Amino acid sequence: MPLPDGGNTPWPPEHCAPINQQYATWAAWWTGDVDQLAAVYGGGGNGGTGRDTTGFFASESGGFRANVGRVVGAVRRWFWGSRASTTQQRTRLHVPLAGDIASASADLLFSEPPTFEVGGDRPATPAGDTPADPTQVRLDELIDGGTTYAILLEAAEICAAMGGVYLRVVWDPKTRPGRPWITAAQPDVAVPEWAWGQLTAVTFWRELSRKGRLVVRHLERHEPGRIIHGVYQGYEDQLGTPIPLTDAPETAGLADERLVDGNTILTGAQDRLTVVYVPNMRPNRVWRNNPHAAYLGRSDYSGVEPLMDALDLVWSSWVRDVDLGKARLVVPREYMTSHGKGQGASVDLDQEIYEPINAMAPETGGAEITQVQFNIRVAEHQSTVDSLKGQIVGSAGYSPQTFGLVDTVAITATEVAAKERRSLITRDRKAQYWRPELAAIVETLLWVDKAQFGSGIVPQPVDVEFADAVSVDPLAQAQTLQALHVAEAISIEEKVRTLHPDWTDVQVAEEVGRIKQDFGIGPLQDPSTFTGLTPTEQADPLAPPVSEPTGVGTSKPYG
């Protein structure tokens, strides 16, 4: 399927409207921008039509207009949906717990870099070492240390907040010569196509410029084996007329590529897409009946938005109590010093000498200075905030300990795993979605590297292994292995594999041999061949026996 013809074609496509509306809501919680939250829930925007998901959050009263009155009436009952009074300033604060949840999800998955290996165990050479696989060597170069891992951390945070993320292979000899690399793409600027739950094509889009109502967009369509580019000049809600790639500075460099039909780049990755979609969690309860979105992932915020709204309400109420709790003095007007007509009056609290005034004494009913100070309901607010936070992180799939909501002392790794069990289960579940997609995109990276840069490698399937979320306590592991050894329930080989799970079969075999040699462990001798002779005597029966040395400290036989 080629790129759209343009003209009056709506963009983004109409079926993306409810999807982009939900993306806008999740993005507002993730970013923690109070103007965005007020725009989403206050009905001050386009009602989630999905048009311009990055520009309509300018203000609460900006161009974000709701198109469904019933929905607007519902969201305005939310804390962030209520309008601020025109006569009194209302303090509305946001607790950035949503951002903390997305960051925690990324840290649980990629706090330690995953490992990427091609092929299986390779036979050792006669010298005992394992030859290096050229493909593995090149893969290690492409992963490029911390660069790829930083991209994965970024992608994991996007995935947790927005329900999913796209990973795509890109290359640009001017930016990074000699190699392709992997980048993360936001899901709210993508139009995916599915077949039986598999991503078959996806079109990314971005705004290159906007002047009044005139908008220039760049569309980048990924299909198996090729990428199609197009630039359109249209309006905010229409794609408009196709224009040459060279007319836009951002896409002019594409003309230097080996283009087919003037706008197509052959990736060389055979029938593979240069993009994968990583869902955060499935199934997506919000879009389960939407054929265009049923295979998209669900956000960690899905279903807990009302709780996060209530948390902001309680936090704002707490701060309001602090503001109202400021000490105030009610003083007679005669005590105040006038600053002139129209300039108001004030009381100098540091003034030591006051002039007498003609006023009734306090004991006879006259005015006096009165202190007014309201109580700050600290305990009530703190308890409510903690309860809401615990419910939010629990519903999102994490343990309260992950966010420091429970006071703990120094504990062992085993105790950490027990207390963090809910978070670790969620982490393992997410890893099941990440592992196959990471393996696929890294293998595609090898294909693109071979085709575009002539690396000469043989692309192979890639195995992805995630690091342990909690480091194993060496003492606890040693005690476990010792108990199994005493119970005669574990072999030397299994002990070595448990202690070194990342070792190959060759490394394990060598370590087992060294352990047996150190402890003199070997095959049992056949009793029928026992002679009582030393190995030297067995080799030369006629050799004289070895006499023991004599001298100080040696014993002599009796007789």
Q: Does residue 496 share a domain with residue 455?
A: no
Residue 62, pLDDT > 50, answer no
Q: Identify whether 18 is part of a domain.
A: yes
Q: Identify whether 539 is part of a domain.
A: no
pLDDT of residue 7: 84
Q: Does residue 292 share a domain with residue 207?
A: yes
Range of the domain at 44: 9-75
Residue 23 main-chain phi, psi, to 5 deg? -60, -40
- Cα-Cα-Cα-Cα dihedral of 362, 363, 366, 370, to 10°? 40
Q: Identify the residue whose tokens are 């224009």.
A: 243
Residue 74 main-chain phi, psi, to 5 deg? -70, -45
Look up the pTM and report it: 0.74
Q: Are residues 78 and 72 in contact, defined by beta-carbon separation less than 8 angstroms?
A: no
- Most confident of the following: 270-284, 376-390, 505-519: 270-284
Quote the number of domains for the chain. Answer: 3
Distance between CA 220 and CA 229 in Å, rounded?
Answer: 5
Q: Does residue 404 share a domain with residue 279?
A: yes
User: HEC profile for 226-280?
Assistant: EEEEEEEEEECCEEEEEECHHHCCCCHHHHHCCEECCCEEECCCCCCCCEEEEEC
- Most confident of the following: 20-24, 525-529, 551-555: 20-24
Q: Does residue 434 share a domain with residue 292?
A: yes
Q: Are residues 199 and 210 in contact, defined by beta-carbon separation less than 8 angstroms?
A: no
Q: Does residue 412 share a domain with residue 484?
A: no
Q: Does residue 171 share a domain with residue 284?
A: yes
Q: Identify whether 91 is part of a domain.
A: no
pLDDT of residue 68: 37
Residue 260 main-chain phi, psi, to 5 deg? -110, 130
Measuring CA to CA, which residue among 498, 434, 431 is closest to residue 469? 431
Q: Identify whether 448 is part of a domain.
A: yes
Reported as a pLDDT band with limits 50, 70 and 90, residue 145 is low
Q: Which helix (H) or strand (E) holds 105?
A: helix 97-110
Q: Identify whether 557 is part of a domain.
A: no
Residue 45, pLDDT > 50, answer no
Between strands 115-118 and 462-465, the pairing is antiparallel
Q: Identify whether 374 is part of a domain.
A: no
CA atoms within 13 Å, Cβ hemisphere of 485: 12
Distance between CA 134 and CA 187 in Å, rounded?
Answer: 35
Q: Does residue 43 share a domain with residue 110?
A: no
Q: How many residues does the chain have?
A: 559
